[in-house]
Amino acid sequence: MQNSKARIAVFVSGGGTNLQAILDAQFSGIINSGKVCLVISSKEGVYALERAGKAGVPSLVFSKKKLGGQEAFEDAIDNALKEYEIDLIVLAGFLSILSAEFTKKYDHRIINIHPSLIPSFCGEGFYGLRVHEAALSRGVKVTGATVHYVNEIPDGGEIILQKAVKVCDKDTPEKLQLRVMRQAEWIILPRAVEMISRKILNDKNAKDAE
């Protein structure tokens, strides 16, 4: 029997705008080979959990602090991924760094969206508005977003898709952040999710046919 859709978990820590972009793309048919089956948050009470609820997607919250450290945190996540039979993990504003052991276990099954053109303004400490503040203080004329595979190095995995965005003279970090989201992140993340979901499905179906 052919597998019909890759099962996706989206990891969040905040408002969930990229989660919403994925859910909207699923609804509109841009994402056809995958389905969001689980949302995992590292924080309680974030708006991303409401977005999941409105879309009828189950959600779980795992706090590293409450669980007592990285190992227990990752074990809890791992158990949930197994329970929901997850094929692909999408980090969408997830602010917890995953260990080398965890990323190795899900090799080429974890992707992340980063709000710059990697290798610029990336790595440890570069997230959210900090990325756009750094781009503006450096005086770059073009920035953008990158979807990449996740490995043990923060923002160090193989690049999947990138999209450039023009920096304007009167930009503030907030204005630039919004333009990068609208013109790059919300476009290339759903595209990458579809590409990889299709590859996972093809690989699964080929294996089943052996």
Going from N- to C-terminal start, the domains of the chain cover: 6-113+148-156+185-209
- Would the pLDDT of 190 be above 90? yes
Token pair 């099954």: residue: 109
> Whole-angstrom Cα distance, residue 192 to residue 187?
9
Our CA angle for 109, 111, 117, nearest 5°, is: 150
Which residues are 27's β-sheet partners? none
The single residue of 108, 114, 132, 148 carrying the catalytic annotation is 114
pTM for this structure? Answer: 0.94
What is the model's pLDDT at position 3? 67
Per residue in 35-90, pLDDT (tens digit) is 999 999 999 999 999 999 999 999 999 998 899 899 999 999 999 999 999 999 99
pLDDT grade for 125, boundaries at 50, 70 and 90? confident
Is 114 among the catalytic positions?
Answer: yes
We find that the CATH architecture of domain 6-113+148-156+185-209 is 3-Layer(aba) Sandwich (3.40)
